[in-house]
Amino acid sequence: MCKLTEELSIPDNAQDLSKLLRSTNTKPYQIAQIISGFDESKVYFPNKDIFVLELLIDRLNNGNLDFFKTSEHTWIIFGKLLDAIDDPISIKKILKKLKTVSVMIRTVQLWPMETLSRRSDSSFMKVFFSINSYLVVNFSAEETFQLLEQVINGLSSCSTDEIAFSYLQDACSLTHVDNIIMTDNKIATCYCKHMLLPTLKYFSQIEKPTLSSQTFNRLSGFIGKFLLQPRVDYMDMNEKFVRENASEFNDEMAYNYFAAFADFLSKDNFDQLEAIFDILTAQRPSLKCRFLALLSESKKTVSQEFLEKLLLETLTSSSESGLLLLIPTILKLDIEVAIKHIFRLLELVQLEHSTDPLFSSHVWDLIIQSHANARELSHFFDKINDYCSRIGPDSYFLLSSQAYVKSITKQLFTLSTLQWKALLQNLLDQVNHDSTNRVPLYLIRICLGGLTESVSHTTLNELKPILYQVFTLESFNNNLQWDLKYHIMEVYDDIVPAEESKKIEYIFSSNIFDTRSENLEELFFYCFKVREYMSFDLSAVTEKFMKHFENLDDDTKSNLSFSIISKFATLVNNNFTRDNIFFLVESSLSNPENLCRLLNNDDIFEEANITHVLVNKLASSYNQAFALDALAQIPIQCINKNIRVAIINNLTSKPVCSNVAARKCILHLLSSPTFKSNIETNFNELCEKTIVTPDMIISERDNGEINAGDEESVFEKVWTNHLSQIKEPVSEKFLKTGYDIIENAVLSVDGDMKVIIAGFTVAKHLKPDSKHRNVQDIILNYTVMIMENYSQQFEAKTIPLFRTSMAEFYEITTTGQVDISKYKADILGIFSKIMHRYNSNKNYHPDEEQEMFLIHSLLVDDRLEYIFAEYLNINHTISCDFALGACLRQSLKKGPDDFNRLLWNSAKSFSTIKEAYAEKFVKVFIIMSKEISRDNNLGHHLFVIALLEAYTSCDTGKFGYKSYLLLFDAIKHFLVSKPWLFTQYCIEMLLPFCLKTITLIMNNESSTEINKCFINIIEVIDHILLVHRFKFSNRHHLINSVLCQLLEIIAMHDGILSTESADAISRLITNYCEPYNVSNTQNGSKNNLSSKISLIKQSIRKNVLVVLTKYIQLSITTQFSLNIKKNLQPGIHAIFDILSQSELSELNAFLDIPGKQYFRALYLQYKKTGKWRED
């Protein structure tokens, strides 16, 4: 109740009190104030509740006192009085005085809209329902529609669709609108008068009204129920409605109105749909394209005659802006339109090619698709041949431009062998008849472009004699003929006739190369290809080619040189001079994409001359990143030793080689050591040029550029190369010099820091029996000294050295077989002093805590809880994860008791862990789970307990998206790597755990995170089926339940979940229906395996109908979006694959009429596009 704004003086006698209540000046809130004091008042006022109730009814019936209807106090008082009067007969008698229907309508009309945005349970609605429980309130059809009209007007003020739907549903319940069964013209007229326009206005005001909106579905249902009925003359009503409300119509209203007709009219009523289309587009011409697109999406159509008329009108009015966009939609709706009017459409394509090439190519693509879908692609070739031959060169772009040619080649697979033979023979006959006509040659070239991808090997053999005829063509002045021969030779490796050598001689003896300045590339390609078949001197051709090449522009040079090198690598390598190869490689490298494609072609590296030029070119460009990346990809065997030395010396000529690309390149070059470069022969040079300072090491590590121990450094690579041939004099000398320099630097007061850092790396590679073992001891003592100095001084500038020293100490200890026990007391004492200083300074998360954790993990002995607690309190890295795992493995060597105790504590901590530690805690649990061995039976049990605790205790308040993602990623991994961890109970518990997690994340995370986690959890269920299917041999109802709920989730959250999520569900359904892990190690015979698969499919067949029924029900009631439905289709088709006719009949009998219709359409679509066929 609203706060009272003024205090009312309440009389102390019944007469004055009655007078005050009866006064028309008394406001509802004042009446509420008086009633609230009734219980405490000493005034004798008999039947006061009945008196006030009658008073309120009188005020509500009074049309001049509408403020009573809009006051929340009125209805709160009314409700309290109905509860206070304990005499149903008296209440009924009083309520009969209320003009219930008119009061309801007027109240809903006047009710403040802003209150609807907050809640749906309005006080007046509660009172109306109470009145309805005492009296039978009869609404006429018109009164029903009047009330609903006012309710619909207020729906847009509701803050959510749930509130809007609740408000609308309350009104429907009060009016009993669902009891109106028979609809005639009178009821339809009344509906149009009151409800239709508000409904369309509401649709236009909400965003994406079709996406799982219950309110939208309810109001759409009214359109179908009260207007689009057989006994209603809805065509006349529609025309009258649009005419009378034209001024209030906007585009969205008209679109949703047409959408309602498209939804409710059957596919046979396209005459009415066409008429409505004309009526609405007469008012809103710009909507034609959207209307047709809607029909296309909803699989509805109109007559071919109507579409033809629309197409011709559009072509005639093509000058009008935007109308041309209708054409693609028209062509999608009916393929016959494109086939019948192809020449008009080709004229349009040619006309729009220069002004709107995207539109032009789109229409062209639809023309070809229409012919291919109608199995008339061969006729399309006849038509385009006729059109281009008649129009001439202006139309040749259709047959030569790649944007247009691709549309044809991708549909060539639809041609049968007979069609292929007839098509090619017909085109060759035309060429023989008239060699001046280039169109048949273009078409043959297009056919050759799709031959290898679209034709089987058998068909290729049958086409070979026909294509052989190309080599008998007499004209040598047509560059297309050379191009055809080249592509035929690409397809067949034994088709060139011996007579072709005479034609080569003719080419050499003629002046073709000199007289033609354009389109010579086809001739060169032809000559190069023939050279691969037969031997002749190619020097004249290569000379002519290079002369032609020099006159081209840079872009053409780059593309042509790449084509020549990639297609004819061996020929170029053996027949072109080094200088010519250099020019070709240089031109090709001007385009970075060409370089990438060359490096991906392993055959290039078999050609010594090309590789030599390529390596030299890249080596000379060592100061550019692209060259370094490329050199790192070239096999080391292809890079000459001298070139490697030169590149390494060039890259290390700077004081410090800090560039990542340079380091990567050097490491690649050092994979085959030269022992001649500066850094490989001079230890001081190696340290100077490859070792970075502690500040740089820490900076790179903190910025995520490197992780400790992730990548071998250049220094380490050189050092280990020498260690690998330690007995060679050159390496023995280099190593001894290095040890001596390191020892001197560490023991000196002002030793070179780079040499000392190098000493850390050297110490990692010292074996226990090494004669230079003392270097390792010196380095470790130096590290302890660095720690001690830091604990005393705490200087900020020493932190990088302190952190680097600890990280390297950890690496040395874990890889160099060092006994750390002798340093334990000193290090723990140092850490104690450091932590005391941190606590004093309230420095709770210093940067160096990670490295301190690494060292501490080596010293914990049996106190695992301490190190795990420390892990939860630091900002850890991957190295910390490895260190934690190493602690566990060390502890397990003494037995599993301590480990199991820790696992038990972790399991119980799922219910108490705080949000700040959740992600780290999940990582701890995962690290522990990785160490559970197969013979640790108690560990298996504790793992199941932990998952159960996670299931029952976790929510998004404590465990966010990242924690769930980590946990389910780990479960997915363990399902495969440790299947023995999962008992029957655990597997069955995982299914509701997955669903619970999806529900929690759907309500609390963003769209991107929801989809990522959704897909991850679906993959977990997929892995359960992959490895543990045998545990569901008689538990298929569990999987069915999960699949049904997943379908419901994606239907209800269509706008949030992506097509990738739909793909994941589709794969899960497919894998459920297609068992693939049923082999038996005891008996793996083929027959046994087949029988097991058959039995499993038979069992699934009886159960999976539930999933298909759920999909049909959701498709009808909720309606998946087009993209989601498309991505779910493979899974639904997989269900159909295993169903027999018996199950199909059973399902059909179970469904209602809309379900049967949808099921029939779904099954027809499956037989058309989803069912496997040999062809």
Contacts of range 554-562, beta carbons closer than 8 Å, 24 or more positions apart: 554/587, 554/590, 557/587, 557/590, 558/587, 558/588, 558/590, 558/591, 558/594, 559/591, 559/594, 560/521, 560/587, 561/585, 561/587, 561/588, 561/594, 562/588, 562/591, 562/594, 562/597, 562/598
Task: Kindly report, residue by residue over 103-137, the tens digit of the pLDDT.
Answer: 888 888 887 776 665 554 567 778 888 887 787 78
Q: Quick one: angle between helices 984-1002 and 961-977, nearest 10?
A: 150
Any idea which of 12-16, 461-465, 559-563, 703-707 has the lowest mean pLDDT? Answer: 703-707
Report the range of poorest mean pLDDT among 92-106, 333-347, 626-640.
92-106
For residue 945, the model assigns a pLDDT of: 94
pLDDT band at 862 (very low <50, low <70, confident <90, very high): low
Report the C-alpha gap between 141 and 184 in whole angstroms.
11
Q: With contact defined as beta carbons under 8 Å apart, do 881 and 923 qualify?
A: yes
Kindly tell me if the per-residue pLDDT of 1020 is higher than 50.
yes
Tell me what pLDDT residue 635 has.
93
Average pLDDT over residues 811-815: 84
**Predicted pLDDT of residue 1026:** 86
Measure Cα distances from 523 to 490, 541, 645 in Å: 15, 10, 43
In this prediction, residue 904 has a pLDDT band, given cuts at 50, 70 and 90, of: very high
Rounded CA separation 1092/748 (Å):
76
Q: Do the Cβ atoms of 191 and 222 come closer than 8 Å?
A: yes
Handedness of CA 1030, 1035, 1036, 1041 (dihedral sign): negative
Q: Of 564, 490, 489, give the one whose Cα is nearest residue 520.
A: 564
* Cβ-contact 171, 217 below 8 angstroms: no
Q: By the 8 A CB rule, do 749 and 791 touch?
A: no
Helices (H), 353-499: 357-373, 377-391, 397-400, 402-409, 417-433, 439-449, 451-454, 457-468, 479-491
Do the Cβ atoms of 998 and 1049 come closer than 8 Å? yes
**Alpha carbon distance 712, 541 (integer Å):** 50
Q: Which of 182 and 1065 is assigned the larger pLDDT?
A: 1065
Which SS3 state, helix, strand or coil, does residue 129 take?
helix
Q: What residues contact 842, with CB distance under 8 A and at least 6 apart?
A: none
Over residues 688-702, the pLDDT tens digits come to 888 888 878 877 776
The angle that helices 1007-1028 and 1059-1073 make with each other, rounded to 10 degrees, is 10
Q: How many CB atoms lie within 10 A of CB 322?
A: 10
Q: Which amino acid is at 509?
A: S
Q: Give 14-61 pLDDT, tens digit per residue.
A: 676 677 777 766 777 777 667 666 655 656 566 777 887 788 788 788
d(CA 427, CA 446): 12
> Could you tell me the pLDDT band of residue 608, with boundaries at 50, 70 and 90?
very high
State mean pLDDT over 658-681.
89
Q: Give the 3-state DSSP-derived string for 360-376, with helices as H, strands as E and coil as C.
A: HHHHHHHHHHHHHHCCC
Q: How high is the mean pLDDT of the chain?
A: 83
Place of tokens 């862990």: 913
User: Rounded distance, CA 163 to CA 114, Å?
Assistant: 13
CA dist 304 and 335 (Å) reads 9
pLDDT, tens digit, for every residue of 631-661? 999 999 999 999 999 999 999 887 655 678 8
- CA–CA distance, 327 with 293 (Å, rounded to integer): 11
Q: What is the pLDDT of residue 2?
A: 43
CA 424-427-428 angle, to 5 degrees, is 85
Question: Alpha-carbon distance 721 to 677, whole Å?
Answer: 13
Phi, psi of 311 (to 5 degrees): -65, -45
Residue 212 has pLDDT above 60, yes or no: no
Q: Is 266 helix (H, G, I), strand (E, B) or coil?
A: coil
Whether the predicted pLDDT of 255 surpasses 60 = yes
Q: How confident is the model at residue 709 (pLDDT cuts 50, 70, 90)?
A: very low
Here the tokens at position 55 are 């008073």
Are the C-beta atoms of residues 342 and 363 closer than 8 Å to each other? no
Rounded Cα distance between 1112 and 1115, Å, is 5
Beta-carbon contacts of 49 under 8 Å, excluding residues fewer than 6 positions away, are 81, 84, 85
Task: Read off the tokens for 483.
Answer: 């191009």
| Greatest pairwise CA separation for the chain in angstroms | 133
The token pair at 1147 is 């399902």
d(CA 614, CA 504): 32
pLDDT tier, 703 (very low <50, low <70, confident <90, very high otherwise): low
Which ranges of 176-303 would DSSP assign to H, the alpha helix?
Answer: 185-191, 197-205, 214-226, 234-244, 251-264, 270-283, 288-297
Q: What's the number of CA atoms in the CB half-sphere (13 Å) around residue 544?
A: 21
Q: In 819-849, which positions are buried (b, 16+ CB within 10 angstroms) versus exposed (e)? A: ebeebeeebeebbebbeeebeeeeeeebebb
pLDDT given at position 303: 80
pLDDT of the residue at 583: 92
Q: Give phi and psi for 1074, each to the nearest 5.
A: -120, 85
Residues 441 and 472 sit within 8 Å (Cβ to Cβ): no
Q: What distance in Å separates the CA atoms of residue 157 and residue 178, rounded to the nearest whole number?
A: 24
Read off the pLDDT of residues 61-93 as tens digits, 9 standing for 90 and up: 887 777 787 777 777 878 787 877 878 888 888
Range of weakest confidence among 521-530, 695-704, 706-715, 945-954 = 706-715
Radius of gyration of the chain (CA): 42
Distance CA 858, CA 854 (A): 7
User: What percentage of the chain carries pLDDT values higher than 70?
Assistant: 87
Alpha helices, DSSP H, located in 568-606: 569-575, 578-589, 592-599
The neighbour count for residue 1153, using CB atoms within 10 Å, is 7
Neighbours of 633 (CB within 10 A): 13
pLDDT at position 37, please? Answer: 60
Q: Which of 206-220, 471-485, 692-706, 780-794 has the highest mean pLDDT?
A: 780-794
Instruction: Give the model confidence (pLDDT) of 529-572 as tens digits.
Output: 888 888 888 888 888 889 888 888 888 889 899 999 998 999 99
